[in-house]
Amino acid sequence: MKITGNAIIAQGGGPTAVINQSLVGAIQEMKKHPEIKKIYGALHGVRGIIEENFLDLRQASNENLEQVANTPCAALLSTRDKPDLEYCAKIFQIFKKHNIRYFYYIGGNDSSDTVRLVNEYAIKEQYEFKAFHIPKTIDNDLVINDHTPGFGSAAKFVAEAFMGANLETKALEGIYLGIVMGRHAGFLTAASALGRKDQTEGPHLIYLPERPFSIDSFLSDVQKVYDQYGRCVIAISEGITDENGMPIVAKLKENVTKDAHGNIELAGGELGDMLTKAIKDQLKIGRVRADTFGYLQRSFPGTVSDTDQKEARLAGQAAVKFSMMEDYQNGSVVIIRTKEYEIEYQLTELQNIAAKTKHMPEEFINQEGNNVTEAFIQYGLPLLGENFKKTTNIEAPLVNISK
């Protein structure tokens, strides 16, 4: 027996460049199924649900939806709210009030937990209900998933940024540090290597949160590369810590500022500025530059992976398709790689995704812990899409001149 009623969809957490592809993929699929009556879009994620702030998505034209799909960031707006039990109970009451029988939530692992909790209320009250989590995160840290929608586009941004930085240090020499997002998982920082042509090209060093960071080894690594190539390009995760889990920026900071709660305040550009200072002071190298990629890397419209777009759209569509099958009541859509390069969408139980973090596997990190392996390149490259092109050096011989 099929459930008939209204549907709601929402977007949560940090945005990505393709989260609207999943939204539009789900909406267009919903329209195909007569069991679904109204299609609501909650504004600002779960907050829009409890505030009953819904858009009537059936009124959006196909033309508008297709343009929205190609726009980065959450078209339904987002939220940082992490619902507790009481919040989820409230969500469920709203669902009952509006005869909402289908719930789709596009988000990271916190969002999957919200779907799980809301769904538990439905089970307890024997309310006929289908609840699905659609994955997204630039951090690529959802377990079970081979990769997550949003990662490929952010990875393309990071890879291209380092292709530019590599060419810059070749043209003008010096040291370049790029600080990349990802507090606990190093995938996005590792993506800095995806545009590298060979080992002489940058990034020459890559530091991930999966390995403890030592400032002494770092400086000695940098000196070694600089001696060899006269330049050095370095990718660093914002989340690097020492062997005790202490953030490196806090260690380097002479006068640590604490906020009202006693937490150490980590301002945007500080890690890069401090490592720059360490290199200048201790290695006596003059031209050292650091960029903190910050928010640029997650909603940048200009450099979206076409593969990521396609996959994100199909992930949204897959969630609705699963919800229409009698075998599935709820779950989280996961992306499984079946061959090089193909994927398929499967469904896993919500609790398998919630509150878990995937890290870079051992085989993706080199032994010294300062670079990625070829296995990572093979893994990551297909995700950047068809339009990703490496840079080219000029191929002409030096003129033989007796000076």
Window 155-194: contact mask with a second copy (x via CB under 8 A): -xx--xx-xxx-xx-xxx---x------------------
Least Cβ distance, residue 205 to a second copy (angstroms) = 17
Instruction: Work out the number of other CB atoms within 10 angstroms of the CB of residue 66.
Output: 11
Per the CB < 8 A criterion, the answer to whether 337 and 146 are in contact is yes
Our finding on whether 230 is near a second copy (CB under 8 A) is no
Tokens of 172: 């003008």
Q: Binder to a second copy among 262, 326, 340, 398 (CB under 8 A)?
A: 398
Q: What is the DSSP string of 346-374?
A: EEE-HHHHTT------GGGB-TTSSSB-H
Our finding on whether 260 is near a second copy (CB under 8 A) is no
Region near a second copy per CB under 8 A, out of 142-150, 325-333, 371-379, 384-392? 384-392
Q: Identify the burial level of 252 via C-beta atoms within 10 angstroms of its C-beta, where 0-12 means exposed, 13-18 middle and 19 or more buried.
A: middle
**Beta-carbon-side half-sphere exposure of residue 255 (alpha carbons within 13 Å):** 0
Q: Binder to a second copy among 111, 140, 145, 303 (CB under 8 A)?
A: 303
Sign (positive or negative) of CA dihedral 93, 96, 100, 101: positive
Size of the site for a second copy (CB under 8 A): 81
Per the CB < 8 A criterion, the answer to whether 41 and 100 are in contact is no
Our finding on whether 9 is near a second copy (CB under 8 A) is no
Q: Residue for token digits 């951090």?
A: 139
Our finding on whether 268 is near a second copy (CB under 8 A) is yes
Q: Whose Cβ is closer to a second copy: residue 162's or residue 364's? A: 162
3-class secondary-structure state, position 255: coil
Q: Which residues pair with 292 in a beta bridge?
A: 179
Region near a second copy per CB under 8 A, out of 29-37, 222-230, 271-279, 340-348? 271-279
Window 194-223: contact mask with a second copy (x via CB under 8 A): -x----------------------------
Residues in the chain: 403
What residues numbered 60-79 form the site for a second copy, per CB under 8 A? 60-61, 64-65, 67-68, 70-79
Strands 54-56 and 36-42: antiparallel
**Gap between the Cα atoms of 188 and 360, Å rounded:** 10
Per the CB < 8 A criterion, the answer to whether 138 and 16 are in contact is yes
What residues numbered 362-381 form the site for a second copy, per CB under 8 A? none
Our finding on whether 262 is near a second copy (CB under 8 A) is no
Q: Active site includes 273?
A: no
Least Cβ distance, residue 118 to a second copy (angstroms) = 19
Our finding on whether 396 is near a second copy (CB under 8 A) is yes
Q: Whose Cβ is closer to a second copy: residue 245's or residue 302's? A: 302
Our finding on whether 397 is near a second copy (CB under 8 A) is yes
How many Å is the Cα radius of gyration of the chain?
23
Exactly one of 113, 139, 141, 221 is catalytic; name it.
139
Least Cβ distance, residue 83 to a second copy (angstroms) = 16
Catalytic residues: 139
